[in-house]
Each structure stands twice: as C-alpha cells, then as structure tokens.
C-alpha cells in the first residue's frame, strides 16, 4: 500500500518556494533520520562512484565531486559533453525513487548521483536543460548527509536569487519553466567537513524524439 512507503518520522509536508518564473517545492524531511542514515551508508558504500574528467579550454579537468549515473537501459544522457550509459537500478535507488514519484506525481527513468566528500567539493552554475530532458522537465533532488546550501539565480532579473538549505532526508522538486529561467549551484563551504550525497531523478527522452516535436 502507498502509505507503507512512509515511516513514522518522514513528512509529506511541502514548502512552496515563491520566486518569479519558477515552480519549486521543498520537502524538508521526506525521509526520516533513520532512513536517511541507512540510505547514506548504503549509497556511499554501494554506488559505483567515478571521478569524472571534463574538458575546459581544451584541457582535461577532474570535476570536484564523485558522480554516478543509474537508470533504465534506454536512459543514456549527455552532460558536460560526455555521453553516460546508465548502470542498473539498485534496490536502494528503487526504494528512494518510489517515495519521490509518489510525492511528485511524476515518473523517472534515471538518476544522477553526486558525492560531495566535504565542503571543498562543489558544482558550478548551470541549469538542467539538456535536450534529453524535454521541455519543462521535472527534476527531483534528494539529499542525504551534510547540509549544503543550494543557490539559485535568475538568468535575466538582477537580484533575483535564492539560497535553500538542503538537509539530511530532504527533497527539492523543480518543475515547470524553472530550468529555462534559473541557474543553480552548490558552492564550496569551509564550514562543511563531512560528506553529502545528492540524487537528481529525471525522465530522459531520446533526442530524436524531441527534435521531431
């Protein structure tokens, strides 16, 4: 039954985040502390983490975090000019996905995982607007481990910025036109000394399907 997905200490209570040309919902405690501790350990030890390299100004640079890509066989994804073939779902990832799909009322066929080992790991300003995601994608971002600040800034409105703390067991859902109008990042932080695992669930479409309308 659907209600069995939720422990006594997880919460369906969402906070709507008000910002122009966006659709943002935050579930501060979608997973209980006990669930979050368990998932963090399972993902840290069981995921096939990789240290990726990308080209910057023609030179290979190691990204400041570890990454992994999981999902359905057809959910290949190109980001940072690198094509990624998904690994098969694990039991833990499917359990997390089921929770997220229930609260977002969306289906996802893939997930990008990032392991921020400490506050020196980060991700620069970007938006999740690759062709494979389709128009107005829904991105569900789950966090386990150390709290990090998720910063957003509008592409065209000066001063339109958000700073959202993403804690242990939280889920931020970005949908509608958000990716068209906003950039986001996880900046470095000298105060953070422990690890954070982030999972962003997505629905991937074949690029030729998008091109055909």
pLDDT tens readout for residues 115-164:
999 999 999 999 988 889 999 999 999 999 999 999 999 999 999 999 99
Does pLDDT of 97 surpass 70? yes
Radius of gyration of the chain (CA): 17
Find the helix or strand (DSSP H, E) in which 102 lies.
helix 91-104
pLDDT tens, position by position, 4-22 = 444 456 678 899 999 999 9
Strands (DSSP E) found in 117-169: 123-126, 139-145, 148-154, 161-166
Distance, CA of 137 to CA of 128 (rounded, Å): 8
Residue 148 lies inside a defined structural domain of this protein? yes
Residue 212 lies inside a defined structural domain of this protein? no
Residue 213 lies inside a defined structural domain of this protein? no
- What is the mean pLDDT of the segment spanning 192-208? 93
Percent of the chain scoring above 70 in pLDDT: 91
Q: Say which residue the tokens 């859902």 belong to.
A: 173
Distance, CA of 140 to CA of 171 (rounded, Å): 7
pLDDT tens, position by position, 163-190 = 999 999 999 999 999 999 999 999 999 9
Residue 106 lies inside a defined structural domain of this protein? yes
More confident site: 79 or 62: 62
**Which residues, in sequence order, are CB contacts of 179 under 8 Å at separation 6+?**
127, 128, 129, 133, 136, 137, 139
Residue 9 lies inside a defined structural domain of this protein? no
CATH label of the domain that carries residue 185 = 2.60.120.590
Assessment of whether the complete model's pTM goes beyond 0.85: yes
- Provide the domain limits for residue 130: 17-192
Task: Count structural domains, the chain.
Answer: 1
43 SS3 class: helix
């Amino acid at each position: 039954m659907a209600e069995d997905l939720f422990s006594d200490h997880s919460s369906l209570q969402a906070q709507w985040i008000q910002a122009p040309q966006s659709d943002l919902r935050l579930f501060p405690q979608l997973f209980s502390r006990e669930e979050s501790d368990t998932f963090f350990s399972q993902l840290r030890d069981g995921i096939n983490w990789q240290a990726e390299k990308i080209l910057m100004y023609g030179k290979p640079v190691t990204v400041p975090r570890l990454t992994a890509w999981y999902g359905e066989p057809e959910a290949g994804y190109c980001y940072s000019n690198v094509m990624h073939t998904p690994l098969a779902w694990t039991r833990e990832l499917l359990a997390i996905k089921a929770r997220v799909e229930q609260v977002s009322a969306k289906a996802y066929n893939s997930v990008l995982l990032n392991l921020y080992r400490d506050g020196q790991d980060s991700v620069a300003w970007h938006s999740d607007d690759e062709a494979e995601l389709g128009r107005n994608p829904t991105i569900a971002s789950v966090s386990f481990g150390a709290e990090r600040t998720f910063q957003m800034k509008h592409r065209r409105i000066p001063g339109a910025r958000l700073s959202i703390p993403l804690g242990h067991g939280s889920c931020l859902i970005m949908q509608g036109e958000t990716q068209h109008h906003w950039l986001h990042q996880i900046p470095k932080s000298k105060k953070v000394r422990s690890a954070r695992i982030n999972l962003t669930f997505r629905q991937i479409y074949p690029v030729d399907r998008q091109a055909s309308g």
